[in-house]
Structure 1
Amino acid sequence: MKSSLSIFRLFQINNIIRRYASNELSSSMDFETAKSRLESSSVQVDNETKLKLYALYKQATTGVCSTSKPGLTDFVARAKWTAWSSLGKMNQQDAQKQYIQTVQQLVSSSTSSNQVNSTSTSEETTNEKGQSTEEHVELIKKSPSHWEIVLNRPEKYNAITRPMYERIMEIFDQATQDKQLILISFTGKGKFYSAGTDLADFAKMATSSTNLKESVELGRILLEKYIGKYIDFPKILIAFINGPAVGISVSTLGLFDGVYASSNATFSLPFTRTAQSAEGCSSLTFPSLMGSLHAKDILLFDRKLTAEEAQQRGLVTKIIDQNLFEEEKDKICQHILSLPHGSLLASKSLMQKWTKETFHRVNSYEVENLKQRWLTEEFVQAMMTFVRGRKKTKS
């Protein structure tokens, strides 16, 4: 009897071992198939998913991350290391399963996206909905003497991308040369004025190149040139803040000739929250407009201002009832254009004469300081947190 039980137990154990070995072999085969399928496909993979796949593959084939952390300026290697090490003690079999599942999801979702082909021969930069940069920065020539720039990317809260920056600079150059033009007004489409610089653009720039120093230098050059256009602009420049304004859409307001805010507008400069520092000459213009302590409240401590608070601190010229916004916009522009044009431009030129050189020095120093911030551990972590946050929002 004991002999029969022992034989039965041995038979059970043998079956368990066979099943386990079979599962391991099947899992391994599935893993290799998934790897080959991904390599041979034309699936478009975003940076966050690339990092996830890399981490799962390393965990599945090598095990727990035990390598040293790469240097700060080697952004790509550092991002890969962070993704891998974040898996902790996940076993190799679970890593294989998650890798397989991720590849299957990518391949299944690519069928519909692959049907969308880029057939346009236009060299214009387009976004996810096929909109061109010229549509994202809409130029409305209301009259020979008045142009309006509309930030038209409402699905992204009018966040400004690199091509949008370049488009705005082009318009400024055209406006400077146009002898009939007197006034440019800025506003936003939808509920937001602007969410500021598109951080997704920033993160993409950083993760697309192994040379972070080169990337941030390009960013520094672009920003200094962009702010310089505001400093030098010889025509009347006013802003109609139709809703929340963030970042560079706020920091540059001290360089405008008039700022008119909807009653529902807000103003925030999350420099320290994003591990950055002042831009747009705001380190000079804000203390000049509102005093040192009020300026520090915004520039250092991430204080969001209401329209009323912004007006009290000298950042806003006038508050407009949100229900009368469009009507009042027209009245303000008509009033400005009713004034003698030559006197308007000559008076602005006179006021610029005493500040232009100073503003350019401030701009140069601010962007150099920002460049150094972009190379810090704090900023790298802030961008990685931002990318992870966007991924969670989409899922």
Structure 2
Amino acid sequence: MSDPTTDATADATADATAEVTHTIAGGVAYLTLNRPEALNAITPAQRDRLISLLTEASADPSVRAVVLTGTGRGFCAGADLRGGGASAGEERVAGDVARVIRLGAQRLIAAVLDCEKPVIAAVNGTAAGLGAHLALACDLVLAAESARFIEVFVRRGLVPDGGGAYLLPRLIGPQRAKELMFFGDAVSAADAERLGLVNRVVPDEELEKTSREWAERLASGPTRALALTKQLVNASLESDRATAFAAEAAAQEINMTTEDAREGVASFVERRSAEYRGR
């Protein structure tokens, strides 16, 4: 999937040869993994660039939604195991692996979950290992018919990382999560939709158009209300009722100070369409 055609507000510095391309158009930041020859297996440099771009999008008032996708046949084939790390004969010190995971894969997934703007994954092909978790951490997941999701860790004798054991049970329950993680079988886009891993499956040629339409719709919405809603939903499964209700009340209090909340109420009273500015 290629980046969409950009308008006058697009980031003019986008470099088609970069390993992560970045454009902004119509209030949407488009982040594209760009190593098609490696099915977009993610390097440490790409990971850090994605974290930086997600952090920037979160803080930038001109960005009101994010689309994350890949070029070529793969969305992301996981971490690039050939791109660094200890070699087979290199001695590790206790704590090294945990530190790498914490500062690497987990930090990337947290950047998606903590982004204050809605993040859409447009899964254009294989999403395996960390790549699958990167997609599933997004707020909405669109999948091309050719996409597939693979919990590849067990095939390599590894424990899932990148928050997989946190994300999957919350999406499909513990037994289904264990089935995917224990066997490591590829899950087709259609089966992923049936299981509840993705929101919608579309023909490959319609993925870019649909993701752009969804993102532009989100970008025209009440941005702070969406951020607070995301926060509430993400925290809900760790909260008891009293905590969740208190967080909801606090979010309402904060949101009612925004221009968009006032516009929403005014448009209802005046029987017209709301025009949200993301403020």
TM-score by length of 1: 0.52
Q: Structure 1: give runs of 5+ residues left out of the alignment.
A: 1-131, 359-395
Residue 315 (structure 1) aligned to one of 197, 205, 210:
197
Deviations 1:325-383 (A, max 9, x none): 2222222222222333232223223223435799xxxxxxxxxxxxxxxxxxxxxxxxx
Aligned ranges 1:1-395 → 2 under 5 Å: 135-143=18-26, 145-201=27-83, 204-207=84-87, 210-213=90-93, 215-220=96-101, 221-354=103-236
SS at match of 2:22: strand
SS at match of 1:211: coil
Q: Distance in 1 between matches of 2:45 and 2:128?
A: 19
Q: Distance in 2 between matches of 1:291 and 1:326?
A: 30
Q: Distance in 2 between matches of 1:184 and 1:304?
A: 27
Change in Cα spacing, 1:286 to 1:274, as seen in structure 2 (3 Å) is: same
Change in Cα spacing, 1:233 to 1:272, as seen in structure 2 (3 Å) is: same
**AA of the residue aligned to 1:281:** G
SS at match of 1:180: coil
Q: Distance in 2 between matches of 1:278 and 1:320?
A: 28
Shift of residue 192, structure 1, vs aligned partner: 1.0
Deviations 1:176-219 (A, max 9, x none): 22122211110000111111101112xx4212984323753552
Is 1:133–1:167's contact at 8 Å kept on the other side of the alignment? no
Q: Structure 2: give runs of 5+ residues left out of the alignment.
A: 1-14, 241-279
Is 2:120–2:215's contact at 8 Å kept on the other side of the alignment? no
Question: Which has more strand, going by share of residues?
Answer: 2
Sequence identity, in percent?
Answer: 25
Q: Single out whichever of 311-320 and 247-256 deviates more from structure 2.
A: 247-256
Deviations 1:204-241 (A, max 9, x none): 42129843237535522323322322232221111000
Shift of residue 152, structure 1, vs aligned partner: 0.3
**AA of the residue aligned to 1:300:** F
| Count of residue pairs the alignment pairs up | 224
**Highest CA radius of gyration, 1 or 2?**
1
Is 1:209–1:215's contact at 8 Å kept on the other side of the alignment? no
Shift of residue 151, structure 1, vs aligned partner: 0.3
SS at match of 2:183: coil
SS at match of 1:273: helix
**AA of the residue aligned to 2:173:** G
Shift of residue 134, structure 1, vs aligned partner: 7.8
Is 1:206–1:215's contact at 8 Å kept on the other side of the alignment? no
Shift of residue 284, structure 1, vs aligned partner: 2.9
Q: Distance in 2 between matches of 1:208 and 1:168?
A: 28
Q: Distance in 1 between matches of 2:216 and 2:110?
A: 28
Is 1:205–1:215's contact at 8 Å kept on the other side of the alignment? no
**AA of the residue aligned to 1:278:** P
Question: Which has more helix, going by share of residues?
Answer: 1
SS at match of 1:260: strand
**AA of the residue aligned to 2:24:** K
**AA of the residue aligned to 2:179:** D
Deviations 1:6-29 (A, max 9, x none): xxxxxxxxxxxxxxxxxxxxxxxx
Is 1:146–1:182's contact at 8 Å kept on the other side of the alignment? yes
Shift of residue 268, structure 1, vs aligned partner: 0.3
TM-score by length of 2: 0.73
Is 1:260–1:319's contact at 8 Å kept on the other side of the alignment? yes
Shift of residue 272, structure 1, vs aligned partner: 1.0
Q: Distance in 2 between matches of 1:134 and 1:350?
A: 38
Residue equivalent to 1:21? none
